[in-house]
Each structure stands twice: as structure tokens, then as C-alpha cells.
Amino acid sequence: MYADICGLLNIQYPIIQGAMAWISDPSLVSAVSEAGGLGVLATGHLDAEGCVKAIKEIRERTDKPFAVNIMLLSQFADEIVKAVCEQKVPVVTTGAGSPGKYIQMFKESGTKVLPVAPSVAIAKRMEKDGADAVIAEGCESGGHVGKITTMALVPQVVDALNIPVIAAGGIADGRGMAAARMLGASGFQIGTRFLVAKECTVHQNYKDRIIKAKDIDTTTTGASTGHPVRVIRNKLARKFEELEKNNAPAEELDKLGRGALRRAVVEGDIENGSVMSGQIAGLVNKEQTAEEIIKELYGQYKEVMKNTAV
Amino acid sequence: MFERIREIIADQTGKDADEITMDTNVKTDLEADSLDLFQIINDIEDEFDIKIENVEGIETVGDVVKLVEESKK
């Protein structure tokens, strides 16, 4: 039932750092990969040139495998895929659509493909399209989310597919990993916990806000546009809620959202910027190096698995 | 074939099959989000034992029917 994700991706621990736009840059990615997990570069805010530069920077810092996340809705998706294949990046994760039309290119460059899927039907589609494994992501995640919780989604995806399933959404410690394992997941994608890694270059205000967050501090905005996003409920999020309650047109919501993530990540404006975060932020309460995080996660996971008996 | 596709779409979107024509817009008229759309495609693929390509461009029910016809060739 369980697949060997470490063997598939040539990594030491079955821990994948979730891609976070503007946040998971070469510094964080190389630190996670160097520590034995799989660092994932976010490219949603990059063009192909910026992507190649980042890939080279990662390779200067580590010779371990890493991944590039490709937002398939990005206007630069075609050229980024081409660049990723030319650079022979070992793994890609994909979001916002199906990587089907690129699968042949990825196979030729030896790149493993891990699409993110928020439902069984989408996961099945990804398997048919030739994915190597699927990341089943529940709506506890930060950023763009689906509608189904990790607890409900993962076992249903596991039952529907013949390829390995990686669980994502709501995992920030070894207990979460063990729970996901029980649901049939072979690997774990973790975002929010890595956001506060010492090597993560996000603005300190953003990190402090995550560390301070309680269980009820996130909300989803933008459901009316068909693309809900999980964020910390700040001034910006409340403005969104107000507009949506009054059925404001999509253009007005788009306008409010434009540049908002950069405002929080780069400028540290955590009230008027978009502070994307998973629901598990309440469990994340200290800055550590990526290596410390991975060792602690895996140690606790092994401990929980060992002590679990009915 | 249109009848069966229409039933599958009506079933997923909670609309009456009679209201659905070739010109019905999946997103605006039927209020289907991407989760609904992929579920519809999945169900149609299972029903007709086909694989539908280029799902991204779908706007109307007619587009779905056309893709199914192309996939059956």
C-alpha cells in the first residue's frame, strides 16, 4: 500500500516543503534539500529567466535533489517548463491545472511530476496524464485551496489511484505525518512550518505573525471568484469579506488582491498585505533551521508510529 | 450521446437536464467551479470509456460534446 517516496525522489526523508509564492526561494529550498527533504522553489512570481537564475543559485548551495513548482495558469508557464527541462530539474510540482500537455517533455528530461490535486476526479486526471505521484491537498493549507479537508480527501484519493499519494494541508508535526500515513499517504508536504525556518527570507513581521497565530486566525477569501485563498484574517482579509458580502464584482476583488502577497512577504505589511498561512499555524511556535525542523518532524513521526497500538 | 452528457452535467450541477442546451455556459449558467468541471469530465470519461484532452478551454456544454466526439475517434 505504501510507496517508497524517498526512492522515487532520491531524498532521505519523505518530507516535501510546500511551494509558497514569493517565499520559497533558493535560500529555503536549498536548506530543506540539504537537510534531506525536498525543497520546492516557487515560480508563480518569476519569468523563465528569473527561474533559471534561482535554479542555478540552488545548485550552488546544494547538490541534493530539489523541485520547482509551476503555476500552470502563469503567463510564463510554457517558457518555465522549457527552462526547467533544459536545466534537468529532478522534480516538478504543479498547481492550477493539469500538466498533461508537458508530460512528454518532462519524461524526456527525466523530471518527476507531482501535481497538486484537491479532489478525487482531479487526482485521477493527473494519474491518467502520467503523473509520478499526486499531492492530495486539503483545504487546511495556506494559499489557494480546494474544498475538502485532508482527513476526508487523502483516503479517498489513495483508494482511487495506483500511484503514490503525498498528503498536504494541516501537517506541521510528527503527529500530523503519522495521521496522514494512517490515511494511506506515502509522503508529506509541509508549508507553514517551513515558512518560519531560519533560512526562509520572508519578512520577519510575517514570521512573527505565523508564530503568534492561534487555531482560529485564518480564513478563506475570494470564494466568490472561484479561487479561494487561505490567509490570516487581517485588515485586508476583512475588507475582502466585506466586499464579498456585498457581492462586489470580481474586478474589484482582483484590484484589492493585486500586489498584496508581495506587500506582506517583502515589505512586511501584515495588516494590508496577504498573509497566506495554513490552519496549522497555531501549532508553529518557534524559528528553527530547516535541518532542525526536519529532524524534529521525522523523530516525532517515528516515535508516534512506534507507540501507536490499539 | 448529448442526452447522456446532459444528464451527467445536470447531476453534478443540480440543474434540470431540460434547462441545459449546447449553448449553456458551464461556469456562468451552471455555476460549476473547477472541482465540478473535473468531476463532470471524469464521469463522462468513465461513461464512454474515453480520455478527454484540452479540458482547459471548455466554456459551453457544446464544447464538452465536441471534445467527447473528438475523443471517440
pTM for the model stands at 0.92
Express each pLDDT in A181-201 by its tens digit. 999 999 999 999 999 999 999
- Among A125, A147, A226, the residue with its CB nearest the CB of B42 is A125
DSSP of A86-120: HTT-SEEEEESS--GGGHHHHHHTT-EEEEEESSH
Instruction: Write down the ipTM of this complex.
Output: 0.85
Q: Helix H segments across B1-73?
A: 2-13, 34-48, 61-72
Cβ separation A122–B27 shorter than 8 A: no
Active-site residues of B, by number, are 33
CB A206 within 8 A of CB A275: yes
* Chain A residues in contact with B51 (beta carbon < 8 A): 128
Tell me the domain boundaries of chain B: 2-72
Domain A5-201+284-305 CATH class label: alpha beta
Rounded to an integer, the average pLDDT of A67-93 is 92
Task: Please give the C-alpha separations between residue A158 and each of A46, A163, A170, B51, in angstroms, as whole numbers.
Answer: 33, 8, 18, 21
CB A139 within 8 A of CB A146: yes
Question: B2-72 — its CATH code?
Answer: 1.10.1200.10
Rounded to an integer, the average pLDDT of A113-136 is 95
* Chain B residues in contact with A97 (beta carbon < 8 A): 56
pLDDT at residue number A98: 80
Express each pLDDT in A125-141 by its tens digit. 999 989 999 999 999 99
Element (DSSP H or E) covering residue A251:
helix A250-257
Q: Does B21 touch chain A (CB under 8 A)?
A: no
Cβ separation B41–A226 shorter than 8 A: no
pLDDT at residue number A105: 92
Instruction: Name the pLDDT band for A75 (thresholds 50, 70, 90).
Output: confident
Residue B73 has pLDDT above 80, yes or no: no
Instruction: Name the pLDDT band for A1 (thresholds 50, 70, 90).
Output: low
Outline where DSSP puts E strands in chain A.
15-17, 39-42, 66-71, 91-95, 112-117, 134-137, 143-144, 165-168, 187-190, 218-221, 229-232
How big is the A-B interface in CB pairs under 8 Å? 30
Q: Which of A26-35, A100-109, A168-177 has the lowest mean pLDDT?
A: A100-109
